[in-house]
Structure 1
Amino acid sequence: MSQSGVQARRSAVYLLDQVLGEGRLLSELIGGGALDKLQPEDRARAQRLASETLRGLERADRMLQKHLAKYPPLTVRNVLRLATVELCSGGAAHGVVNAAVEIVGRNKRTASMKGLVNAVLRKVAAAGPEAWDILRVPRLPKWLRGPLVEAYGAEAVAAMEAAHFAGAPLDLTAKGDRGALHRSLGGTLLPTGSVRLESAGQVSTLPGFKKGSWWVQDAAAALPVQILAPQPGERVLDLCAAPGGKTMQIAARGAEVTAVDDSETRMARLKQNLKRTGLGAECVVGDVMEQGGQWDAILLDAPCSATGTIRRHPDLPHAKDGGEFAALIEMQAVMLDHALSLLKPGGRLVFCTCSLLPDEGECQVEDALARHKELRANREALNIPGVDPAWITEEGGLRLRPDYWADRGGMDGFYIACLEKA
């Protein structure tokens, strides 16, 4: 087993320890430099292994419990989980098992468990993918599954879980001609205009990346700006803007966009994206609630539970427990009211969240319409190519779910509403 393979796996185990033991998010860990010492190919491998293990965690635990009288310490358990997912995904038993034993053996606190790890994984390898494939699709934790079943029904939630387990392809938004991007990279041109790649490899090596011809953005996340429909010369305020996919969409349409985010780190990334794509925006590091002025159009991508992004971020259900949701929901309402105060008469505001919870979408807009009698939900704005009319909700918003477009690879869960001020 090469040193490279062991190092990537060790780093993946560290990520799992932090997510499952400390409740930290992969994005936080990777953004904080957890993988910076690895070579690019090992960074990608460690992140992929950790994500795949988190997606298959329930199945891995079910496979392992047959061979464990009691659970070992978390790090050893995570080594076993990672190796089980690799073995049951077709990994070569010799290399996977030897790497797992080596990782455990290097740590003085776990070295005594090398024999256990070797014996258990040999049994898992013997059972193979056949035993893995008959296990049920991993379910969401009860704290999240319960509210979603109440909102959508058990059958719909099971379909969402299948989408989460399948993971997500790579969606791109073109700076200019989406047809030209499709012809250049292949893949699928989705009905809403995104280009979808099933196996992209290293993103930065794809044609057009260095020239800034496109950026990565889930197909669902690309819809709020299409619904806002910014026009050349309009003054548009993009609130909670980083990392900037929507800012770039607005700028590419010729509007004068001001992007606001309270994080210097995230804003630095937004500026890098603008520089790469050659697009312009005024960038403000600051609190949404401190912004003023009057604007033709506003996009508020409000902070939320991010429960709609689990197919791309399988760490979310394991790192969170729902305890912060009440504070988020209250914050969203306050932000929405403030954003509406900045909107010119006759202006339009798109409110969106990457959440599956109605309290962070449908209910927020219902309440806002009740508080602000001068508002109306513009249903016509939702009639864009690729949007199924069945996705439009009673109060006049758009509900997107991971199980939609299941035959195409799904989409993120999103809620989007266009509010107009009389």
Structure 2
Amino acid sequence: MKPLYYKIYLLLLFTISGNYQLQAQSCKEDIKQKLQDPAIETLYAKTFHSLLDRMDHTNGYLPESLTGAYIGMYPRTTGAFVFLLMETGHYDLAELNLRYVLESVKANGLERIPHVLEKGMRIHSDEHQIDGQAHVILGWARLALARGVTAFEEETWPIVSKLMTRTCDRTFFQYGSWSIEPGLIRNIAFEHSRDFRRWDVWDLLTQCFVGAALTDMIKVAARHNSPQLIADWTQKRQILSEGINKHLVVQRDGLPTYAEMMLPNGNGGDTYHGMGWVTLSPIAAGWCTDTAIVRNTVAYMNRHFLQTTNGIRWMPTDIYPDGSFINEVIGKGIGWELDFARTENDFKRVLEILELIKASNAGKDIYMEFAWLEGDGYKHNDRITKEDALKMKDMKWTSRDAGNGEQSSWWCWAMARLRKAVGLPARPIQME
């Protein structure tokens, strides 16, 4: 009888597996069809080509804004833009954009990445945003690992390796025995949507992008015969991981989840229990201390804060510790959610996000920076509650800064990866 039970077990297993595969294939076809919806396909194509067309193909300069909302080129955007260019096979353009940033650093005698650049490699803002520096380093390292050794890598390795070392020395990487040293990277000017201001914090995004940069730079250092750098960066990554787990992981619904940031208080610091696009940053960086914590974080946000308005499901840009949130969505946050849903085979959530993209960009040819629900006294960046959200029956989506470089690059990156996953080309056609 034992062989009979075994055969029945195998039959059931194969049947369940076969049904799941058929269901998954059906869902992928639904997603593929949705991606070819003229509204979504046109939005992606025009946004993608607006990024490529606005970049100066002689030197790599990329204006951040098409509307004039932001002046100059933002090196932080280079990280996302390089990721997108790699997904679509534009390696030479990725190198060109990185070259502009690195040449600007050398031309101005800097030892760090500035906040905003202008044409002619002039500096518009020399504000020190360490997360932007990590974006550039990570983009450079990912390109190097994707292509193999190139003349560009050999030429720029000295400056990028110094930038990596500078990023995790004790100027900003506060580790040691003092109570003010939590083993985290301090960002003295974190450019946040929360309250639309700079924050002096140890934020999760900075930690993840530095951790990712260290991970990939260690691999590049191996082929440059740099054992001392490998040892130093490996140790720094371990300290950083311990700092994150100690100070930026909190229990929610009985499970470990990521906190948004820790605020300095002159001593040990206070963990800030807010959530939002910042707590999705491990998805963008492709690095975290534990993927299970990322899953717990997203699951918690979906259970408690995913809103529905006129049939459209949307995740607030910023969620406060008291449970209130902002009545808007942010472009890159949507992209990061989309990519996570893809990796988790959460087909239902992918389709919901695609519907949100249609609704929040309605009437627009190019993807937005922010979109928000407006009407009946509610306006941009209002702090609301779940009770408010339930009353928002006839609200209209309004958006700003269509074509914003950072938001568009992250969204197009997620779209390129999703399109490839369902058998569509990552590169969209050029539309009139």
TM over 0.5: no
TM-score by length of structure 1 reads: 0.29
TM-score by length of structure 2 reads: 0.28
